[in-house]
Chain A
């Protein structure tokens, strides 16, 4: 009985592999409510814009994007993912913002042999020893943007830096990324995750008299920190640095002019001069009435990546090996310009320095200043033995 069943299953699988699918299903679980919602909403809007520009198709097949809110809660994310995998039988997944949620959901996705195209979360685990054929990150590895700031701060000759970050794994990654390239004196201040009042920390910073301050406080935390930093009069003596996460449109919109003059790092900027990016920025503004953030560009690229891979395998989504090869080949044109995937499925790409100022239309926004890293790979790739 058993051998016959296995044979039948094998036959069915073979049958499946010669027929092209009639549509592409994408499960999109993201943080769409609460203090971290701005990030998830931008990724979703960027993703949807790409699908719309492709006439509702991915790789020529009609696309069905199933969206769920994880409420920044790993348990909620796991339930939503299980439903998308088992009931809706999605072909791709994407959307998760926070690395702790990605790590909670990853095993179920990989076990199900479904490709996960991360448009944000880039935990070191999946870049190193736990790298997986079914996991791709189209954005960056978590440490990268912090490394870029560390390099710039080091090169500019700053000697005394205070680092402010929440006391959680992402914050620890930020510190190690920054210190991988910055070798001067540091004082590290760890705050509670989700903290909103920084009076005590600001007094400590004042006492430490640093020449530069590096902070990684995503979402609402960063908004409050910058506002209070400026209100305390600290911006007169201390130069602010942050990764692009803490200095993009979501934060600028809430804080406004006080952010001017702040340096930050990113792999993408809305003023990058290539045809794909110009079209993306113009269409995004037209569709949503605001400038895209780096998160939106990542969501957009994730959709383009799926589109190119589905087209490559001619819609035959059942052949996982071929689909993996097609994804690795990266045949789409990213809005950040050219990049390629490393053996661990994370990007090898350039990182740029941006500064916040007024643009030609008088809007407060980011402006690209120069390149910090060229073809930069993450520090964990050597530990990855991709199967």
Chain B
């Protein structure tokens, strides 16, 4: 039982850290620029395709990952300069419409270029098997994902909490007008944050590619989870995004694993088989509703 619990905790941590990579960019763009970017999930999808294509061309997963992240960051730069600059001053409805159009354009473009079938992206040969920890086997590749996620989360913390740029970012999230009045080049700051977010999306897409599937529409389902994370964590807060992502990752994993077992012990088998999976899939939304009831601004509101 402790083994099961430990393994599920690792699974939850891995899922949560990947959600964090997505939510970090989203929460900054939403929090600082006040811009709803529904196409954030599309950057994740395009990033995964870039990584898969580059990994195939270079015949190396790590080279492909680097090239894919760089390529997606570049795409983010072009998008920010051409489209998003026009959207910051518009209302949320215009932003939602424009970025929803981007989702459709991204999906169809990917389908045109790479076809409707999912792309194959394999982890490096040496990481394909399991490793033994504390008496049970765990996939080596998932451990690598956890390590990557922890490193990025640590770097991001240092960047946001300790560096000058991080200070500007936090200032921008707390009060945009005041930051501009202090003479910070907010335009350049916005561009940098957007590009950085796009790179993180590609990193998550590339790392998850070998585990899941690189396919059209993979961004939409994960986008919803990323929004849940930033709403729980508080919009604009990196710390909130990290805590929110870990909560969502753990609750979703443990819910899926333990709820059916618990229900089976208390309810008749038929009812448990129907109720268990249904309850597990809405658990994080129940959690979000619960947190918003007590903390309407999320756990760590940026504009305190």
Q: Are B281 and A192 in touch, CB under 8 angstroms?
A: yes
The verdict on A190 contacting B130 (CB below 8 Å), with A197-B212, A199-B11, A228-B139 known, is no
A 196-223 contacts with B by CB, 8 A: 196-197, 199-201, 203-204, 206-207, 220, 223
Q: Are A33 and B116 in touch, CB under 8 angstroms?
A: yes
B 124-143 contacts with A by CB, 8 A: 128-130, 136-142
Complex interface bits, B170-198 against A, C-beta within 8 A gives 1, otherwise 0 = 00000000000000000000000000000
Q: Chain A contacts of B4 at CB under 8 A?
A: 203-204, 206-207
The yes or no answer to B8 lying at the interface (CB within 8 A) is: yes
Q: Are B211 and A232 in touch, CB under 8 angstroms?
A: no
Q: Are B136 and A206 in touch, CB under 8 angstroms?
A: yes
The verdict on A38 contacting B212 (CB below 8 Å), with A188-B273, A200-B253 known, is no
User: In the complex, what's the smallest C-beta–C-beta distance from B245 to chain A, in angstroms?
Assistant: 15
User: In the complex, what's the smallest C-beta–C-beta distance from A372 to chain B, in angstroms?
Assistant: 27
The verdict on A204 contacting B257 (CB below 8 Å), with A196-B213, A199-B142, A231-B141 known, is yes
The yes or no answer to B260 lying at the interface (CB within 8 A) is: yes
The yes or no answer to A34 lying at the interface (CB within 8 A) is: yes
The yes or no answer to B216 lying at the interface (CB within 8 A) is: yes
Q: Chain A contacts of B8 at CB under 8 A?
A: 200, 203
* Residue on B nearest A33 in the bound complex, by CB: B116
The verdict on A201 contacting B256 (CB below 8 Å), with A190-B277, A220-B213, A232-B139 known, is yes
The yes or no answer to A66 lying at the interface (CB within 8 A) is: no
Q: Are B212 and A224 in touch, CB under 8 angstroms?
A: yes
Q: Are A196 and B212 in touch, CB under 8 angstroms?
A: yes
User: In the complex, what's the smallest C-beta–C-beta distance from A56 to chain B, in angstroms?
Assistant: 27
Q: Are A32 and B257 in touch, CB under 8 angstroms?
A: no
Contact of A232 among B111, B130, B212, B215 (CB under 8 A): B130
Complex interface bits, A30-57 against B, C-beta within 8 A gives 1, otherwise 0 = 0011110110000000000000000000
Q: Are B7 and A206 in touch, CB under 8 angstroms?
A: yes
Distance between Cα atoms of A234 and B253 in the complex (Å): 19
The verdict on A233 contacting B129 (CB below 8 Å), with A200-B11, A203-B8, A207-B4 known, is yes
Q: Are B276 and A200 in touch, CB under 8 angstroms?
A: no
Q: Chain A contacts of B111 at CB under 8 A?
A: 33
Q: Chain A contacts of B136 at CB under 8 A?
A: 206
The yes or no answer to B118 lying at the interface (CB within 8 A) is: yes
* Count: A-B pairs, CB below 8 Å: 84
The yes or no answer to B117 lying at the interface (CB within 8 A) is: yes
The yes or no answer to B72 lying at the interface (CB within 8 A) is: no
Q: Chain B contacts of A18 at CB under 8 A?
A: none
The yes or no answer to A125 lying at the interface (CB within 8 A) is: no
Which residue, B1, B213, B256, B261, has most C-beta atoms of chain A within 10 A?
Answer: B256
Q: Chain A contacts of B142 at CB under 8 A?
A: 199, 231
Contact of B213 among A32, A35, A200, A201 (CB under 8 A): A35
* Residue on A nearest B9 in the bound complex, by CB: A203
Contact of A197 among B15, B137, B216, B261 (CB under 8 A): B15
Q: Are B260 and A189 in touch, CB under 8 angstroms?
A: yes
Q: Are A192 and B277 in touch, CB under 8 angstroms?
A: yes
* Residue on A nearest B256 in the bound complex, by CB: A200
Q: Chain B contacts of A189 at CB under 8 A?
A: 260
User: In the complex, what's the smallest C-beta–C-beta distance from B129 to chain A, in angstroms?
Assistant: 7
Q: Chain B contacts of A192 at CB under 8 A?
A: 277, 281
Q: Are A167 and B277 in touch, CB under 8 angstroms?
A: yes
The verdict on A34 contacting B11 (CB below 8 Å), with A199-B253, A231-B130 known, is no
Q: Chain B contacts of A224 at CB under 8 A?
A: 211-213
Distance between Cα atoms of A113 and B254 in the complex (Å): 51
User: In the complex, what's the smallest C-beta–C-beta distance from A178 to chain B, in angstroms?
Assistant: 14
Contact of A35 among B1, B137, B141, B215 (CB under 8 A): B215
The yes or no answer to A254 lying at the interface (CB within 8 A) is: yes
Q: Are A231 and B253 in touch, CB under 8 angstroms?
A: no
Q: Chain A contacts of B276 at CB under 8 A?
A: 190
* Residue on A nearest B120 in the bound complex, by CB: A254
The yes or no answer to A114 lying at the interface (CB within 8 A) is: no
List 6 additional A-B contacts (Cβ < 8 Å) besides A206-B4, A206-B7, A224-B211: A188-B273, A190-B276, A196-B211, A196-B213, A200-B254, A203-B7
11 A-B contact pairs sorted by A residue (CB < 8 Å): A33-B111, A34-B217, A167-B277, A191-B277, A199-B14, A199-B253, A200-B8, A200-B257, A203-B4, A220-B213, A231-B128
Closest 5 CB pairs of A and B: A233-B137, A233-B130, A199-B11, A231-B139, A33-B116
